[in-house]
Structure 1
Amino acid sequence: MKSNHLQAPGHHRIACLVLPGVISFDLATACETFRYATRPSGQPYYQVTVCAEQQELDLGMFSIHIKHDLTSLEDADTIIVPGTSFSPLSLSSTVLAALRKAARRGARIASICTGAFVLAEAGLLDGLRATTHWQAAAEFAKRYPSIQIDPRVLFVDNGQILTSAGAAAGLDLCLHMIRSDFGAAVAAQVARLSVVPLQREGGQAQFIPPSTRSIDRNLQILINWVMNNLNQPLTVKSLADQSHSSQRTLHRRFVEQLGESPSQWLIRIRVQRAQELLESSKLSVEQIVSEVGLGSAANFRLHFQRIVGVSPRQHRQSFGYPDSS
């Protein structure tokens, strides 16, 4: 069975590698997220192919038919490895060899959830930092002591090799890759179509107690209000006043539902908005500081460096317009 790639110019080729026991949510996340990335003309930025060593796979509740074989990995720009539910880990030597070959030629390879085990088995994570679902982190650390596993974060970007935590963190990783490939505006479009909030940073904690995962309506109203007023000198007190609650109550609600304090969340949201402006506008740093309400340029650079890991100028050089400031 030969892969039938469409040789459309300008398409970034993505191959989703399906293994026995694939987690269907992880696979669908990758397929649908990249499919939503389209040009104003409606043409897709990505050509997404699903491939496997076996053409037919039984997933328990349903079976799937895979149209393409492992030859799809040979010319893929990016390979996505969704998580799998099987244990103990038993991988085909053919699959591992194909992943190693793709890595040697420079393909970007990313895993979702327990897909990190596959990358580790292929030797692609040796000496690197990685993440996986928090429930699997202890087993991962035991199996692969040469890999620095971090169960606290949503995803880890090592450049060519990327890993993400479980479930929704795979969506965060996909949005991160879209933004890296085609900029913040395209990633924001995909986020809107996916009906998800602003992209979460990779370093954000992945675990929130199950009983507090949802955001209540009143807090969502407050969040929407903040997003429309970021250029104002907002404080925890002003947020509490807006939500008609005490600062103590507001702090508790933020920690329970968002996993961080109101002040931490506010700074992070302002930095995220600054990232978007650096990527999609020609505004100077001083103008962006005014737009996002981070006070002085020095204060802005301090928070940006701490959260993003690079300076605003470096971020713009990598993802957006040349810095005019």
Structure 2
Amino acid sequence: MSVIAVLVPDRLPGHQLTTPGLVFGTATTGHPGADYEVRLCAAPGLTATGAPAPLRISVPWGLDGLADADVVLIPGQDADGPRDEPAPEVLAALRAAAARGCRIGAIGTGVFTLAATGLLDARRATTGWRHTEELARRHPRIEVDPVGTVVTDGRFLTSAGIFGGLDVCLRLLAQDHGERVAGETSRELLTPLLSHGDRVQETIDRELTESAGIEPTLRWLEARLHLPLTPADMAAHAGISLSSLNRRFQAQTGATPPQYLLRRRLERARELLEDTDEGVERVAARCGFTSPASLRHHFARLTGTTPRAYRTRARGGPDRGGQW
């Protein structure tokens, strides 16, 4: 039996309190190989769920419920309320769980609790889009994914969105018992909401995929212009084939993926030249060019001038030439 310990903070959204029980309880009922115990474990100060319909609650376990758990889930507090610093005993319990190899999932603003332990330093993580800048500011050693739904880095999972808890639980279930069990559990949870079962769900999925275009991948690229990205990386993020990626880029941007990436890097370079005093080496590195010479080459093709001359003109000064 696998033990799932849910660390329940004060003012957590009510649906996050019940989601783990729904997912793992459904999996246990429907699949003989899946066997889970879900423990609700009170963090210090627990009194009630959060808005919009707060309820006073008590749960059967304290932090001792984390001691032998296989998985610890950390829901977030009310996103619009004050974000308290985790109690020292909470941080100690999470560090101890990680030290013995426990998987830890943080849902929404729950990532701030996990981040406070230092366990996410030098790792990728995400949270709700309204809080990604705050997460990056408060924890600069974390590589914040601004568009991730579920981000897995080693034994740590973080998620964004209202249904982030569902996403994390299903990801954990897939790790334990495969995609088939996770998919069947997801359908068991969602099908009662639909009048035509899987056929309607397939239609919805197709329509969402077609309407979404490549906007999420474009936002993902914006945050990674400094990295050595390839079309294969973009296709993997979008979850489509290379041929589909090329068609969608051509339709939405008028360029191939490499052309679009180069264009955005040059546009970022122009912005940095206009708004900062950084040297060409730093500008090239921040924009993903392999060398200052590469930046100068592509910049000259785009603008007909050097980075130095462009910066001078953009700031209204005399152009003194040079090859900076």
With normalisation by structure 1, the TM-score equals: 0.58
Runs of 4+ in 1 over 3 A off after TM superposition: 39-44, 53-56, 220-227, 253-256, 258-261, 302-306
Which residue is equivalent to 2:65? Answer: 72
Does the 8 A contact of 1:15 with 1:72 survive in 2? Answer: yes
Q: Deviations over 1:278-325 (max 9, x none)?
A: xxxxxxxxxxxxxxxxxxxxxxxx97995289xxxxxxxxxxxxxxxx
1:25 to 15, 26, 34: 15
Aligned residue identity for 1:91:
P
Does the 8 A contact of 2:6 with 2:74 survive in 1? Answer: yes
Report the alpha carbon displacement of residue 221 of structure 1 after superposing the two structures with TM: 5.5
Aligned positions of 1:207-246 closer than 5 A: 223-224=202-203
Which residue is equivalent to 1:307? Answer: 236
Q: Which runs of 5+ in 1 are unaligned?
A: 1-10, 198-214, 228-249, 265-301, 310-325
Report the alpha carbon displacement of residue 54 of structure 1 after superposing the two structures with TM: 4.2
> Percent identity at matched positions?
35
Aligned positions of 1:30-45 closer than 5 A: 30-38=20-28, 45=35
Aligned residue identity for 2:72:
I
Of residues 170-179 and 54-63 in structure 1, the stretch that sits farther from structure 2 once superposed is: 54-63
The 1:28–1:151 alpha-carbon spacing in structure 2 relative to 1, beyond 3 Å, is farther
Q: CA RMSD in A?
A: 3.5
Does the 8 A contact of 1:54 with 1:66 survive in 2? Answer: no
Which residue is equivalent to 1:183? Answer: 178
Aligned positions of 1:90-105 closer than 5 A: 90-105=85-100
Aligned positions of 1:144-293 closer than 5 A: 144-195=139-190, 223-224=202-203, 256=211, 258=212, 260=214
Q: Looking at CA atoms only, which structure, 1 or 2, has the larger radius of gyration?
A: 2
The 1:43–1:141 alpha-carbon spacing in structure 2 relative to 1, beyond 3 Å, is same
Q: Deviations over 1:84-132 (max 9, x none)?
A: 1242332111111110111111110011111100100111101111000
Q: Deviations over 1:16-68 (max 9, x none)?
A: 00011212222222221121112657685211111013485123521111111
Is 1:82 the counterpart of 2:70? The answer is no
The 1:151–1:28 alpha-carbon spacing in structure 2 relative to 1, beyond 3 Å, is farther
Aligned residue identity for 1:68:
W
The 1:39–1:134 alpha-carbon spacing in structure 2 relative to 1, beyond 3 Å, is same
The 1:45–1:90 alpha-carbon spacing in structure 2 relative to 1, beyond 3 Å, is same
2:136 to 141, 144, 150: 141
Question: How many residues get paired?
Answer: 216
Q: State the SS of the aligned residue for 1:151.
A: coil
Q: Deviations over 1:64-83 (max 9, x none)?
A: 11111111101000000011
2:110 to 111, 115, 128: 115
With normalisation by structure 2, the TM-score equals: 0.58
Does the 8 A contact of 2:9 with 2:46 survive in 1? Answer: no
Of residues 162-171 and 134-143 in structure 1, the stretch that sits farther from structure 2 once superposed is: 162-171
The 1:40–1:193 alpha-carbon spacing in structure 2 relative to 1, beyond 3 Å, is closer
The 1:162–1:26 alpha-carbon spacing in structure 2 relative to 1, beyond 3 Å, is same
Report the alpha carbon displacement of residue 174 of structure 1 after superposing the two structures with TM: 1.4
Report the alpha carbon displacement of residue 167 of structure 1 after superposing the two structures with TM: 1.3
Is 1:47 the counterpart of 2:40? The answer is no
